[in-house]
Every structure is written in C-alpha cells, then in structure tokens.
A and B are shown apart, each in its own frame.
Chain A
Amino acid sequence: MLKITHISKTFNPGTINEKVAIKDLSLHVKNGDFITIIGSNGAGKSTLFNAIAGTFITDTGRIVLDGEDITMQPDHKRAGKIGRLFQDPMLGSAPGMSIEENLALAAGHGGWLSSVTKKEKAEFRERLSLLEMGLEDRMKQPVGLLSGGQRQALTLMMATYNPPRLLLLDEHTAALDPATADKVLEITRNITSENNLTCLMVTHNMNQALEFGNRIIMMDSGNIVFDAEGDAKKALTREMLLEKFKESAGKNLDNDRILLSSEQ
C-alpha cells in the first residue's frame, strides 16, 4: 500500500544547525492497517508525516503509494490521496468561510466553476449530523465560531469526505480537553473503520497507542526502533512499552512527555 524505502532527511545540511531528522527509514504499510506511532519529542514522527505528505522532498529513498511513485510529487498533488490532521485544530479549515463552504471545498465535486448543489447540501447535513455536535444546523456560520473540538471533528470529516488512500493523524486530539478528545477519537474510530481507511496516528498517549490500531511503531532519532503487529501488539502492556522505550533510546526519559501522558 505505502512503501517507504530508505528515506533520509537532513535539515540545514553543512551548517551549525544541521539536524538529521530521518535516517535511512523504511516502512511498509499494508492496506487497512491502523498504525499508532509513539516516540519522544524530536524522534522524527512529524518529519515522517511531512515526508509522506510532501511538505518537503526527501534527500534519499523512495515513497510509493499504491504502486505510484510519489517521491517527487508536490504536496498539493499528494493531498488528493493523503488526508492529514494536525494537532492545531485551526490548521484544517478556513475560519472566515462557512461550514458549508469549507465542506464544499473538501467534497470537491464537479468542475472548478461549479457551485454547491441542493443535493450536496443535503449530504453535508446528513454527514454533519453523524458528528452529533449540532453542526448541521449551523451550516451558514463561519467556522471561526466553532470550538476547537468541533473544528477538529469538522476537519476530520473534511479530510475523509472523499475517503483518502491514507490518513495521517498527527496528535490530532492533543490540543483538546479530555472529553472532547474522546469524542473526536470515537469519530476517528468510526470513520476509519467504516471506510476501512489505512491510517497512521502519532500520539503521546500510551493508552491510546495500545488501544488503537493493529500495529504500533516506536521512533527514536529519526528511525523506527520498535515495531509490533497483530497479536504481538495486543500482548503489549504499558510497562513493556516503557521498558522498550528506555532500552531503545538508551537513555532516561524522565522529563519526557510520553511519561506524563501514560499516567492516566
């Protein structure tokens, strides 16, 4: 499905700020996989997502999505195949435009000069009602009036309106309060399972990482240091994961965020 082979990325090469963000990383994602990704700050999780989404072109290696080599494709070309959500709910929708207009952009039916039809509006309403946030009655309101959680749920809906081949979730619930985060996670679970989406999810929450998906990946220093799938993943506990973490990183992780969020 997604085949990443030997990709590397160094930022500011040859300068004092040189940073090797990804080092010879390979990853093979199967169709329908839901992979959770954990790792300390600066491990390269978001950089990996940026590489897949095309925010930058990798220095080496190849990225192949469904047999199509997207290594050199610009981000907006990949965006049709790859949906993405960020931690910041403000990044995924246009605040000055109405819910309906945002959805019309995401739906992308018809040509460039076509407008939203009545049928589409009815479809928007129906889909919004599935979020159970009352957004279906606020379609004409600007998105800027929504709360962070509502906006993130809307963004998730927009990103999956036309099911992408791959969905990248970059800590998409980390900026939300716990109740809203749970709600958005539930919506995530529903949307991904209904559409059988292939999904990569970065999280700092160990419970989330263990609970979600069929495969777990741990990253450190720009590479994958631990990878468990299926039954091996199911058998994992938080303690085992923490142990792995210390082992692979070879250092103490006292002040790391991953410890804090595992204390639930």
Chain B
Amino acid sequence: MELQAVFDLLRTTLELGLITSLTVLALFLSYSMLNVCDLSTDGCFTLGAAVGAVVALSGHPVLSIFAAMGAGMISGLVTSLLQTKMGIDSLLSGIIVNTGLYSINIAVMKNSSLVNLNKTETIFTMAKRALENSFLASSYKLVVIIVAVALVVAFLVFFLRTRLGLAIRATGNNPAMVKSSSINPVYTTIVGLVIANAFTGLSGCLMAQSQKSANIDIGGGIVTIALASLLIGNAFLGKGSILKRAIGAVAGSIIFRCVYTIALRLKMPASMLKLVSSIIVIIAIAGPYFRAQIPMIKRKMALKKGRENGREEQ
C-alpha cells in the first residue's frame, strides 16, 4: 500500500471516529452522567441526518447544522417527558421514541428512504472552498469535524461544572440524595436528555453531509457503537476531571474506528461492525462484573478442594 493511501485511510478513520464521537459525548452526558441509557439514540442520529440533509438540500448548509441539533433536542424532550411525566420506564421510552422516529424520518426525507447530497452545498463543501489554497486543503472535512468536537467538549466541560451540571450529575449519581434536596430530578433529566440529543442530532447531520447522503439506516446500531466507544474510553481515561473523561470518550471512539478499520483490512466483512460493537459492550460491562466474582469463585474452589482431600476447611 502506498503511503498516500495509508494517509487517506487514516484520515477517513479519524473523520468517522470523530463524527461518531459526538454521539459518544451525548451518551457521556446521558449514560455516564445522568445514568439514563437513551435507546432513542439510533432514531435521533438518523433524524439529525435526515433534517440536516433536507435543510441543506433546500439551500441552507449552515442552518442545517442547527436544524439537526434542534430536531435532536425535540426528540430528547419527548423521550425525557415520557419517562419523567408519564410514568414510562426510561428504557421503554427510548425504544418507543426510536420506533416512532422511523416514520418521522421517512416523512422528513419526503417519503423516501434516501436523500442524495452529491451536488448539494453542505458545511463540508463550504469548508472545502474556504480552505482551497491553504495547507489544510486536503483535510477540510477533518477541520470541520474537529471544530465541532472541540466545541462540544468545551461546552460539556463548562456545563458540567455549573450548578445545573452538578445537579444533573447528582441526579444520575445518587437519586436518593436528589429526592431530599431542592433539585427537581424531572427538570435535570429533561435538560440532560435534551442537550445530549442535540449532540446526537449534530453527529447524524455531520455523518450524512460528510458521506453526501442520508438514508433511513444511517443510525442503525449507533447506540451500541457509541456505548462501546464510551466504555473503551472509560477503560483508559475513566477517572479524573470531566475534561479528561470527555477526551477519553472521544479517544474511545477513534480507537473503536481504528480497530474496525484494521479488521476490515484483514478481510473482515463490513457487516460484522455491529456484532463487534455488541461484543465490545458485553465485554466492557460483563468484564468488571466477573472480575468482582473472582474471589467468590476462588473461595468455592478452595472449599471444594478441601472436601476432596477429605478435610473440612477450618
């Protein structure tokens, strides 16, 4: 493989990793901080892609970014209202919204399951023109994405240190404490999910615009991929300041994409992506659980061994 080809591959991997990292940061807020597993993420990602594509198609590439984020926020608002105001279990409300979003996404894409952006002005084509003669010309996509990720990380670092951010973290960390304090968990859950889904929408929008098309399956399984990335990041940079952990989330997403790219080079079929992400999530969550069981298992083995040797343990 030529050096240039390697560079191109690396750049694409980085681009994909960073775009998905916005969804990972959304889960960082909803899953790690608020302790809500938001299963509407897949639909919301597609919603961001669909809205971003349709608005860009109508000739408003900059507006498309904010429209996608706005659509994500509305989706997050619905998910949060279902679980805080209507007594629907939080997992179930995510699934319900996710299902409903399928129809909405088709409707947004004007009753089609695909929107083509080949000749459409997007945030990326704008960046391409702006950077035409600079040394960044070939990395125009990366520039846009890095700016977006940096803004989201900066926002999270600022936001999670504010009183509202602390209240959101407390809601996820100790619901019992929040109940007897003046924090209204309904309010913090709503704010947390609305913000998280804005990032998911942004992530979907950038994905569609970078690959020049939005389709109804674009967000399929993204929640597991993002969760896998988040848990990979947690393993490396899971403790310490919010900044460190947010960077860990982004790094986790890049690592995930790198592993996936390498696997593809080694002739793994592309359709294996989702299985791999599922297995990573299983290992990341079940691993610590089994590790905690080890002393218990050892104890049982020792006891069994003692009996076999004909003597009871003292």
Contact = CB atoms under 8 A, between A and B. Distances in A.
A93 B177 contact: yes
A238 interface: no
B183 A91 contact: no
Contacts of B166: 97, 101, 104-105
Contact of A115 (B161, B167, B180, B183): B161
A84 B176 CA distance: 12
B182 interface: yes
A76 B183 CA distance: 6
Interface string B167-191: 1011001101101111111000000
Contacts, number: 73
A114 B166 CA distance: 11
A34 interface: no
Contact of A116 (B161, B177, B180, B181): B161
User: Which label, helix, strand, loop or mixed, suits the secondary structure of the A interface?
Assistant: loop
B118 interface: no
Given A94-B170, A97-B173, A105 B161 contact: no
B173 to A, nearest CB: 4
A96 interface: yes
Contact of A110 (B158, B163, B179, B181): B163
A116 B162 CA distance: 7
A113 interface: yes
Nearest to B159: A113
A83 to B, nearest CB: 9
Interface in A101-137: 101-102, 104-106, 108, 110-116
Residue among B170, B174, B176, B179 having the largest count of chain A Cβ atoms under 10 Å: B174
B169 to A, nearest CB: 6
B164 interface: yes
Interface in B259-277: none
Interface residues of A, number: 31
Interface in B126-170: 158, 161-164, 166-167, 169-170
A42 interface: no
Nearest to A158: B181
A92 B181 CA distance: 9
A159 B176 CA distance: 14
A97 B169 contact: yes
Interface string A65-105: 00000000011110110001010001111111100011011
A113 B177 contact: no
B163 A75 contact: no
A78 B184 CA distance: 11
A105 B176 CA distance: 15
A76 B181 contact: yes
Residue among B167, B180, B183 having the largest count of chain A Cβ atoms under 10 Å: B180
Nearest to A104: B166
A144 B182 CA distance: 21
User: Which are the 4 A-B pairs with shortest beta-carbon distances?
Assistant: A79-B182, A94-B173, A112-B164, A80-B182
6 contacts: A91-B180, A92-B177, A94-B170, A112-B162, A113-B164, A115-B162
Interface of A: 53, 55, 74-77, 79-80, 84, 86, 90-97, 101-102, 104-106, 108, 110-116
